[in-house]
Structure 1
Amino acid sequence: MRDTFVKTLVELAKNNPQIELVTGDLGFGVLKPFWEQCPDQFTNAGIAEQNMTSMAAGMALEGKIVFTYSIGNFPTLRCLEQIRNDCAYHKANVKIVCIGGGFVYGSLGMSHQATEDLAILRALPDVVVMAPGDLVEAEACTKALAKYSGTAYLRLGRGGEKSIHKKLDNFQIGKAIKVKEGEKIAIFSTGAIFEEVQEATDLLIRKEYNPAIYTFPTVKPIDKDTIEKAAKRYQLIVTCEEHNIIAGFGSAVAEIIAEMKDKRASLLKIGVNDEYSVKVGNQKYLRQQYGMDAKSIEKRIIEELQNVSFI
Structure 2
Amino acid sequence: METKEMRAVYCDTLIELAQSDERIMVVEADLMRATGTMKFKEAYPERAVDVGVAEANLVGVSSGLSAGGKIPFAATFGCFASRRAFDQFFLSANYAKLNVKLVGTDPGISAAFNGGTHMPFEDIGLMRMIPGLTIVEPSDPVSLKALTKAAAQIEGCVYMRLHRKAVAALYEEGESFTLGKGKVLADGSDVTIIALGAILVPEALKARQLLTQQGYEAAVIDMHTVKPLDEELILSYARKTGCIVTAENHQTAGGLGSAVANFLSQTHPTPMAMVGIHDEFGQVGTQAWLAQHYRLTAEEISRKALALIKGRKE
Q: Would you call these one fold, judging by a TM-score over 0.5? A: yes
For the residues of structure 2 that align with 1:159 and 1:200, how far apart are their CA atoms? 22
Q: Check conservation: 2:271, 2:308, Cα contact below 8 A.
A: no
For the residues of structure 2 that align with 1:70 and 1:51, how far apart are their CA atoms? 12
Question: Structure 1 residue 156 and structure 2 residue 162: aligned?
Answer: yes
Q: Check conservation: 2:28, 2:49, Cα contact below 8 A.
A: yes
Partner of 2:280: 275
Question: Structure 1 residue 52 and structure 2 residue 58: aligned?
Answer: yes
Q: 1:169: how far off? A: 4.7
Aligned with residue 42 of structure 1, among 37, 45, 48: 48
Q: Check conservation: 1:175, 1:222, Cα contact below 8 A.
A: yes
For the residues of structure 1 that align with 2:125 and 2:55, how far apart are their CA atoms? 20
Aligned with residue 230 of structure 1, among 226, 231, 237: 237
TM-score by length of 1: 0.95
Question: Structure 1 residue 180 and structure 2 residue 207: aligned?
Answer: no
User: Deviation digits for residues 170-213 of structure 1, max 9, x if unmatched?
Assistant: 42110011111111211101111212212222222222221011
Q: 1:308: how far off? A: 2.0
Distance verdict in 2 for CA 1:118–1:139, change over 3 Å? same
For the residues of structure 1 that align with 2:148 and 2:240, how far apart are their CA atoms? 32
Q: Which range moved further: 241-250 or 73-82? A: 73-82
The CA RMSD over aligned residues, in Å, is 1.5
Which structure 1 segments of 5+ residues have no match? none
Q: Which range moved further: 53-62 or 106-115? A: 106-115
User: Deviation digits for residues 264-291 of structure 1, max 9, x if unmatched?
Assistant: x4111110012213x4201111111011
Q: 1:157 corresponds to which letter in structure 2?
A: H
Query: Percent identity at matched positions?
Result: 31
Question: Structure 1 residue 116 and structure 2 residue 144: aligned?
Answer: no
Q: 1:299: how far off? A: 2.2
**SS in structure 1 of the partner of residue 292 of structure 2:** helix
Aligned with residue 253 of structure 2, among 239, 246, 258: 246
**SS in structure 2 of the partner of residue 253 of structure 1:** helix
For the residues of structure 1 that align with 2:201 and 2:176, how far apart are their CA atoms? 21
User: Deviation digits for residues 2-56 of structure 1, max 9, x if unmatched?
Assistant: 1111110111012111111001101326212101111111011100000111111
**SS in structure 1 of the partner of residue 80 of structure 2:** coil
Partner of 2:142: 136
Number of equivalenced pairs:
307
Distance verdict in 2 for CA 1:168–1:274, change over 3 Å? farther
Partner of 2:28: 23
Q: 1:103 corresponds to which letter in structure 2?
A: I
For the residues of structure 1 that align with 2:88 and 2:222, how far apart are their CA atoms? 30
Partner of 2:3: none
Q: Which range moved further: 121-130 or 192-201? A: 192-201
Q: Check conservation: 1:134, 1:163, Cα contact below 8 A.
A: yes
Give the structure with the higher percent helix. Answer: 2
**SS in structure 2 of the partner of residue 46 of structure 1:** coil
**SS in structure 1 of the partner of residue 250 of structure 2:** strand
Aligned with residue 204 of structure 1, among 196, 201, 211: 211
